[in-house]
Amino acid sequence: MNTSKTWRWVFCFTSLFLVTADLINAQNQWQYQENKHYRVLPLADTLKIENEQVEVLEVFAYSCNHCFNFESHLDQYDKAKPSYVNFTRMPVIYSDAYKVHARIYYAAESLGKLESIHKEVFKAIHLDRKQLMNVNEIYPLFEKHGVSKSEFENSFRSFTVESKLSRAARLTSKYKIRSTPTLVINGKYTANGTAVKTFEDMLAVTKELAQKEYVLSQNP
């Protein structure tokens, strides 16, 4: 009897058993249900996980009061998120009118000012009651952070910004975004089932779905 070969078979069988057991244990822990707590996107993209990262994408609108109120919850989530989660944002684009505010987001991003300007845009709209629908209202937000008028104008309608606007419009349609804020997990789920009533509910469902995607990626 080939002892070495036998041990290799034992090792492979044991490894497979442990992987299967891990998956079963994880699946038994999932408490949220499709449609009730989350939806599977009809054209779901299972994003390739690079560096073992699961994408959690917030689709938002600066004009959305709920998105404004969600910001503090997202800040806490972002600080406490697992290392395998890549949290990012995308402005929703339902129509050309939404593109103006989306341009603000992507222009700030391209100029390296997003972290400082993002919350100021929300405050300008919801606290200062500004519409921010023309460059004369928008530019002062950039100017106070050291951006020259020429830098702003070049970025605001740059090829990079235009490309990101096109992508955001395409994903708004593909992900069937009907309201904001919406959290999209790995291009596959949205945490907005009928039983999700609060921001806390949305984040709890998101955490589980992100964990689920990560577990599955580790045990393909």
- Residue pair 194/39 in contact by the 8 Å Cβ criterion: no
143 and 189 part of one domain? no
- Which structure tokens are listed for 58? 């917030």
Give the CA dihedral 126, 204, 211, 90, nearest 10 degrees.
Answer: -20
The residue type at 191: A
For the chain, count helices (H), then strands (E): 8, 5
Q: What is the pLDDT of residues 141-153, one digit of tens each?
A: 999 999 999 999 9
Structural domain span for residue 22:
1-30
The better pLDDT of the pair 46, 162 is held by 162
- Residue pair 126/68 in contact by the 8 Å Cβ criterion: yes
78 and 110 part of one domain? no
Q: What is the pLDDT of residues 18-44, one digit of tens each?
A: 444 444 555 568 899 999 999 999 876
Record the pTM.
0.85
Q: What is the pLDDT of residues 99-114, one digit of tens each?
A: 999 999 999 999 999 9
Strands 189-190 and 182-185: antiparallel
Please count the other Cβ atoms lying within 10 Å of the Cβ belonging to residue 170: 11
153 and 207 part of one domain? no
The residue type at 202: M
| CATH, residue 171 | 3.40.30.10
Please give the Cα distance from 168 to 174 (Å, whole number): 10
106 and 125 part of one domain? yes
Q: Let me know if 43 is exposed, middle or buried by CB neighbors in 10 A (0-12, 13-18, 19+).
A: exposed
134 and 201 part of one domain? no
97 and 170 part of one domain? yes
Please give the Cα distance from 121 to 180 (Å, whole number): 16
208 and 168 part of one domain? no
Q: What is the pLDDT of residues 74-99, one digit of tens each?
A: 999 999 999 999 999 999 999 999 99
166 and 183 part of one domain? no
105 and 206 part of one domain? no
160 and 171 part of one domain? yes
Total domain count, the chain:
3
Which of 69, 158, 183, 56 is CA-nearest to residue 106?
A: 158
170 and 140 part of one domain? yes
- Which structure tokens are listed for 206? 């998101």
79 and 38 part of one domain? yes
